[in-house]
Structure formats: C-alpha cells, structure tokens
Structure 1
Amino acid sequence: MTNRIILSVVSLWIITSFIPIQDKPTLYLIGDSTVKNGSGQGADKLWGWGSILADYLDTSQVRVVNKAIGGRSSRTFITEGRWKSVHDNLQPGDIVLIQFGHNDGGAINDDFRARGTIKGNGEEFMEIDNLLTKRREVVKSYGWYLRKYIADTKAKGATPIVCSLVARNQWDGNKVKRSDYAKWAEEAAKQEGAYFINLHELVAEKYEKLGQGYVTDSLFLEDHTHTNRKGATINAQIVALALSLLQDESIPSLVK
C-alpha cells in the first residue's frame, strides 16, 4: 500500500513537472510597421511604438510579446497564418492588443501585396482569385477582421483590446487629418464588447499640441507614417497611460 502511494506521488510529480505553468500573463501585440518596424531594433532609425511599450509596463506582472510585422493588414495577418501562431499560444488571462488600418486601404487584388480590405465595418464580402497567392479567397470588411480577432481571443479566455491606428503626420491647417479607420475600429470593438483605445485621436491631439513643425522635424524621418524612436516613445507612453485607465478585474495592473 505504501509503495502504491509513493508510486502515485512520483507519477503525479513527473506529470506536473512537464505541464507549463504561466507565472504571469502575456500581452501580445499584433499589427503593422507602426507597432514594430523591421526587426524592432531601430536598424533603419524607424521605430514602432510596440518596441518601446515594455519600458512603460511592469514586466514583473506581464510578459510583452510583439508579433506585429510591417506591411500587413487586418486581412493578411490572418491569411499568412500569423494570427494562428498567436492564437494557438493564447492562454486564459493573456491580453491581445490589436492595431491595424494603415495597410487596409491598399488594393484588394493585385500581384504586389493584395492586402486591402473592404472599407467599413459591415458584412460585405468579395470573392477573388488572388493574383499574388494564386488562390481563391473571400475578402471581408476591415471591421469584420477586427471582430474575428476579438471573438477568437475571447474564445481562448484571453482579453482583446482594440487600438485605432496611430495617427499619421498629415495635416489640414493646424489639425491632424483623421481617418475613417479609427471610427470603424471603435464600432467593431463596441459590437463585440472589447476594450477600445482611441490611439488615433490621442496621438493626433498630442501632435497638435506639439505643433506641425516640431512633429515633422523631430518625430518623423522619411515619410508621414513611420516615426523615429522619439516619436515611437511618445506613442508608447500614450498607449501605456490608456492601458492604466482600462485596468479592472480582466486586466491586471500592467503599468509601472
């Protein structure tokens, strides 16, 4: 009898020793080059805010994994299998921060990138023979893809947070131009009951306070979309502050 108990205890120890224990939740970032530019190390002096965000979070409480990649839209991040690789690893208690929109306005079907989505947040779809992938594909709306990320994340017991796309350095007088994609992102988040950070508006307001001259000369290098490290730091600080205001029972204390 004693030997059986010892064997049972040893067997239990062997089994549990190989079960991974999550000591803290993972915050996954998914998005485009404004979240992670290139390798995320600033080799070209261009930075996404996701590469800076961990500096403003309490990494003893959360693990930050930046899975964003340049050039992707809400559609192609899925069709290339990148979302599956994140989704397969999601654990209850994890968080997914979602920011797409900059590349969703591109061509829906061409032999170059074929990454566009149908504008809006509806249920429209378009069947295409993809000139790039040589495959039949059903293309949905921008909002539909965001709602899929939200639903998939919730199904794994994780928490989705939608960010509207970070504002570009585009101006109309002394005001930063706003994008309809921010509105559609908010609609999708509300429809699926997800947290929402209006990063587009928050960044636009910050740029307006700093002024067009400073923003253009000090935060952007080559174009109106990609920031240098200083610009990415400003945007990461905005995201961190917004996360601190979202904290409740579903989102642990993340910010230092």
Structure 2
Amino acid sequence: MLVVIPTYNEALTIAKAIDRTRSAVPHAHVLVVDDASPDGTGAIVDEIAELDDHVHVLHRAGKQGLGAAYVAGFGWGLGRDYELLVEMDADGSHQPEELPRLLHAAEQADLVLGSRYVPGGRVVNWPWRREALSRLGNTYTRLALGTTLRDATGGFRVFRGDALRQLDVDTVASQGYCFQVDLAWRAVRAGLRVIEVPITFVEREQGESKMDGTIVREAFLRLTQWGAAHRVRQLRALVGRRNGGQP
C-alpha cells in the first residue's frame, strides 16, 4: 500500500501528516511528491526518509499542479507494483486515522471515496462559502454527468492498482477539483466498483490553501464540456435503439 501526498509549501504540516499516517497504518509506505517547495518541505521529508525506509520522496522541478503531482505519484507506485494507492492531503484536512475504514471498504471495491456528504460524513471549521462552493460543485457534477456520487470532488481516496491502470491516468490533464472528478468519472464509465465511505474533513490550521479561482473556473468549464458530450452519447444511443441498432 502506498499513500501519495502531494506537497507545495507544507513545511509546517508534512512531518505530522507522515507521523500520523505511519501510526494509523504501520505497514503503509508514504510517497511525498514535492514540487520544489521554496519553504524546504522536500528537505524535511528527505530527513524523515533517511530514518524510515517506508517513506519516499519524489522531487519535481517546480510547481506543476495537483493533478500532475498525483499522476507522477501513481506512476511511481504502479511501477513498483503497489496493490493499493491512496490519495491524501498534507495539510491535516484528511484524517489518517480514518484510513483503516477506507482500506476495509477497498476489499469490496476498485475505488473508495472518502465522502463528506454521505450520512456520517461531515466538515469541520470550513468557512461557509467554501462548503457552499464544494456542495454546489458536487451537485453540478451529478447533474452534468448523471452520476449518483455525493462527493466526487474529494481528495481522500483509495484506488486498487489494477483499477488505476484501466483509467489511463497519464492522459489526465485536469487539476484541483476537476482532477478528482475526472478520475471518479472515468471509474464510473469503466464500470468499476466505486464506494463512498463517510469521513470527517477538517479545515487546515496551518499553511495556506492552494484553491483559487482558476481551479474553480477550470472545473466548471470541463464539467460542462464532459456533461454535454455525455448527453450527446446518450442521445445517439437512444436514437440508435429506436432505429433498430442503426445510429
């Protein structure tokens, strides 16, 4: 099992995130994908990795975005034949202590989504505007793509390695919210088993959020494009059935 943690300027939080993860799931390996953080995050993890052979660092040349960091981390893990790959933030918003429940669910699924918006899930200390934006984004995702997923934008999730290989993650160019939706949507379309497990999401106490208007705009535009393409495919399939199988 490999926990992939992307970082950019997370010097205040990364050591604690690694320690909590190693305590919660002692057999897990942790890969920090650092985008040349100016605050020395990568150097901190290098020091930890020297003392713990379950901790690894993938240094990248500069800030290239969340999606690209996860793609690089997944590629690193799949190349080393990890069976389970986990997405998790470094800022403390995802609780490593909840990982065992997600891993248990992965015994019956190809993708497990840590969900804030299913019964039992909750958000703690988030500004109401951020929560409203998140809920609106998930509602729009369901309407545009016709999915039943309650939290397609969340970033605390477990993939089976074989499932990730089917999703052709190297072709994913999306970032932020949109990256998470892209992978979940690919899994649904591929017919993979997707389960949502309730989690408690806690607003970060240290450091700064990387969310900005560019990421939100990208998500809205891409979701609209994907939704339109999805509806066109549905319409063509309906017409084809009415014409006796002829498109």
Question: Structure 1 length normalisation: TM-score?
Answer: 0.27
Bigger Rg over Cα? 1
Greater share of residues in helix: 2
